[in-house]
Amino acid sequence: MGQFTNLTAADGFTFPAYVAQPAGQPKGGLVVLQEIFGVNAHIRAVADGYAADGYFVVAPSTFHRVKTGVELGYAEADMQAGMALKAAVEALPVPGVMPDIQAAIDHAAQGGKVGILGYCWGGLLTWRAASALNGLSAAVPYYGGGMTTEAEAARQPRVPVMAHFGEQDHWIPLDSVRAFEKAQPGVTVHVYAANHGFNCDHRGAWNAEAAKLARERTLAFLAQHLG
């Protein structure tokens, strides 16, 4: 089990991050970016899982600049609260929350080469980080909401990227995923017979088969680029 620690961004802002360490020598570092529900029990479990696989994992609270101590569930009221918090972070002056993600990358580097992966909004932030931040060796966005828009698809990632999408995702139309593939031929794109949020076993959208396959592919990708 991991624990929370405070990290400090380049602008002096201090925020919490959940840190989970492997039992032995780390294979590498890994930043895990939350959905719109905070660094909740699910995200902590994801971090613990990758730590069990040998990675030094850092999951920063990307809501902390607008609200502290966010831990939401998956009911409709939680969804609305999370969407409002995401909008508030997205409305921050540039560079917004990116310095916090950079601080998480820097902290994760004590584990070796660093990868980044994120879910939903965290998937979008993962995609942005792959093109804008330093110290990364791989990026894995899961159903990154908004990353298939024309503006986001025009970004140029600096590191290898593997992206996971669900073909039944009503938030991310499949035609936009196919357009993203054409715009980003260097990105490995996997599409599953699943809905948005298929990796989260706390949600009704959980798809065990898709989640298992995506995780296996992610671990192989991380092993290839981080060690």
* Residue 169: active-site member: yes
131 CB-near residues (< 8 Å, 6+ apart)? 155, 156, 157, 158
* Residue 120: active-site member: yes
Three-state DSSP at 105 gives helix
Among the listed residues 120, 164, 200, 225, the single catalytic one is 120
166 CB-near residues (< 8 Å, 6+ apart)? 143, 172, 191, 192, 193, 194, 195, 196, 198, 207, 210
Question: In whole angstroms, what is the distance from residue 226 CA to residue 218 CA?
Answer: 11
What token pair was written down for 157? 């990632």
Among the listed residues 64, 164, 196, 225, the single catalytic one is 196
The length of the chain in residues reads 227
Question: In whole angstroms, what is the distance from residue 211 CA to residue 84 CA?
Answer: 27
What token pair was written down for 102? 């950079």
Question: In whole angstroms, what is the distance from residue 133 CA to residue 187 CA?
Answer: 17
Among the listed residues 106, 164, 169, 225, the single catalytic one is 169
Three-state DSSP at 60 gives strand
Side-chain half-sphere CA neighbours of 98 within 13 A = 16
- In 3D space, the residue among 100, 67, 56 whose CA is nearest the CA of residue 226 turns out to be 56
Question: In whole angstroms, what is the distance from residue 167 CA to residue 171 CA?
Answer: 10
Catalytic residues: 120, 169, 196
